[in-house]
Structure 1
Amino acid sequence: MQLQDWIGRTETIEDVATATPYAALAATLDWPAPLAGQRPASGTPLPYLWHWLYFLPMYAQSEIGADGHAKRGSFLPPVPLPRRMWAGSDFTFHTPLLIGDSLRRTSTIADVKEKTGRTGKLIFVKVRHEIHRNAEQSPALTEHHNIVYRDMPNPEDITPAPLVAPAGSAWERHIVPDDVLLFRYSALTFNGHRIHYDRKYVTETEGYPGLVVHGPLIATLLMDLLRSNLPQAVVTHFEFKAVRPTFDIHAFSVHGQPSPDGKTVHLWGRDHEGFLTMDATATIA
């Protein structure tokens, strides 16, 4: 079968927005007491992107591949390239998800594309997720998740020049991505990808200099920065693109800059060298 034959495949998963994952992520993001670790009451809105705490990938241990992800070829196409990264996502928030909601997520393979870049062959897979709450017909949240697969590094590859991050920002937060932070986020999202916790694997097999900080974790930190500075803001749309990997061997920072008209917020991640690692925009109602 061709990889494009997977376009249109769907799967549906049901879950309940329970309180304990909310409390655990609040503690992991270092929310101040008493919010950190406190289980929220039923009806409490989920912060933006915290739906990633649910619909966890519960594959049997025998179905796990060498990289810690599920073996390919069931829902996701059997891409032959070994490296897999979260390239970015975009979201439309229709109505809030609440603690206690019964949730249903329908996922569809929206597109599969093959490209050749400066570092070799690339395969992009786009997955559309629609999340419904309490049997409502219209989705509460629509997400497009972009996955990129690539080959192992080659010494002859031409490495793209890094982009310099904006110099100033209205808001910023500095993060020390130690092993415990990465482990806790992997555990909360039941993410078995070994690049986030297995230092021997990530350095010797995939050739990275250290553990890779999860793209969704950085995106969550960007939205949490917005929440802490504009707690009443209603976000209708959010999109982010991973620009450069972030590793646990150095601290990094997240930044935000509202537009003059207050309709959007530019958010970005910056590494210790001042290079752009993630670029994002939130649209405010």
Structure 2
Amino acid sequence: MTGDLHSWLGRKRRVTDEMAAPLVRRMAALTDRADVALDRGAPVPNHWLCMLFDDAAPQSQLGPDGHPAKGDFLPPVPLPRRMLGGRRLTYHAPVRVGDTLERETEIAAITPKVGRSGAMILVMLRHTIAGPDGLVAVEEQDIAYLEPKRDAPAPKAPPAEAPVAAWRDPFAPDPVMLFRYSALAFNGHRIHYDADYARDVEGYPALVVNGGVTTLFLLEAALRHAPGAQVRSYDARTLKPLFCGRPAELCAGTPDKAGRCTLWAEDETGAIALRIQARLAP
């Protein structure tokens, strides 16, 4: 199934964006942050890079799920459903309001797998982000393409065992939160705002909480518990979706001396939905 896709390996694309003050203002509103300055040259939290470098595909080039149609830059994977499987990100330099940034994206790997829900193909993208003074961040992002939703439920894996939590914060994602994040990132994926599509076409019981939303609010919670720290690196892995309107918790273990710690989000049953290995340091 992936034979014809391997010719896409090594393809690259460059996108330029700006850490503009209006974007920073909107992200501060979404995350309830009153401590982030909007003056040109003011520092921006590292992990807020997630709102930049949207695809911005023309409306005529969108697929039925709201994503850009496959076969332009991303390979024409013959599986219909798409989700973010995980990401690994290391920050090398700070970002400031007004910085012009360039991201080079390379299709680094295409890997077929078989999961609990059937055949899947992982497409790994490597993003290299540079700013006025050189390298800013390197990210590896795993996009998982999945078979159509089955009528019969997929076999359930045993829930991941959670470590002992040093703290727990309630997390209640609602449709407005999902809309504001999708609008900020210009993310058109319909499972995050079109409940009928999410339920009737992709088989979810409710709107799916963006993995990016959970990651953002989990990192924000970690920083509230570590005043003065920044996110220096993290490795996030999606284990199962969270659904809009259902209660969840953001949790963390005790950090080591280097600031490394395990962060995770639990759904209403106590199962881990997303897990992050992060390093927080001044």
**Shorter-chain TM-score: what band?**
over 0.9
Residue type of the alignment partner of 1:83: R
Asked whether the equivalents of residues 83 and 151 of structure 1 are also in contact (C-alpha less than 8 Å), the reply is: yes
Runs of 4 or more consecutive aligned structure 1 residues displaced over 4 Å after TM superposition = none
The correspondence of residues 45-84 of structure 1 with structure 2, limited to 5 A, is: 45-84=43-82
Moved more, 44-53 or 200-209: 44-53
Displacement of 1:153:
2.0
Distance, in Å, in 2 between the alignment partners of 1:39 and 1:71 is: 37
**How many residues matched?**
279
Displacement of 1:176:
1.5
TM-score by length of 1: 0.92
Residue type of the alignment partner of 2:123: V
- 5+ long unaligned stretches in structure 1: none
Asked whether the equivalents of residues 192 and 209 of structure 2 are also in contact (C-alpha less than 8 Å), the reply is: yes
Partner of 2:96: 98
- 5+ long unaligned stretches in structure 2: none
Distance, in Å, in 1 between the alignment partners of 2:247 and 2:17 is: 35
Displacement of 1:165:
5.2
Moved more, 147-156 or 264-273: 147-156
Moved more, 8-17 or 115-124: 115-124
Q: Any idea what the Cα deviations from partners look like across 1:144-167, whole Å, max 9, x if unmatched?
A: 010101011223454232525526
Root-mean-square deviation (CA), in Å?
A: 1.8
Displacement of 1:4:
1.3
Residue type of the alignment partner of 1:173: D
Moved more, 167-176 or 77-86: 167-176
SS in 2 for 1:258: coil
Residue type of the alignment partner of 1:223: L
Partner of 1:189: 185
Residue type of the alignment partner of 2:5: L
SS in 1 for 2:242: coil
Distance, in Å, in 1 between the alignment partners of 2:84 and 2:154 is: 21
Displacement of 1:77:
0.5
Distance, in Å, in 1 between the alignment partners of 2:98 and 2:227 is: 22
Distance, in Å, in 1 between the alignment partners of 2:164 and 2:101 is: 40
Asked whether the equivalents of residues 81 and 151 of structure 1 are also in contact (C-alpha less than 8 Å), the reply is: yes
SS in 2 for 1:155: coil
Asked whether the equivalents of residues 47 and 231 of structure 2 are also in contact (C-alpha less than 8 Å), the reply is: no
Distance, in Å, in 2 between the alignment partners of 1:153 and 1:176 is: 26
Asked whether the equivalents of residues 219 and 231 of structure 2 are also in contact (C-alpha less than 8 Å), the reply is: no
Q: Any idea what the Cα deviations from partners look like across 1:210-245, whole Å, max 9, x if unmatched?
A: 000000111111111121111322443211100110
The correspondence of residues 166-245 of structure 1 with structure 2, limited to 5 A, is: 166=162, 168-245=164-241
Asked whether the equivalents of residues 246 and 277 of structure 1 are also in contact (C-alpha less than 8 Å), the reply is: yes
Asked whether the equivalents of residues 91 and 136 of structure 2 are also in contact (C-alpha less than 8 Å), the reply is: yes
Aligned-residue sequence identity (percent) comes to 35
Distance, in Å, in 2 between the alignment partners of 1:159 and 1:246 is: 18
Distance, in Å, in 1 between the alignment partners of 2:25 and 2:193 is: 22
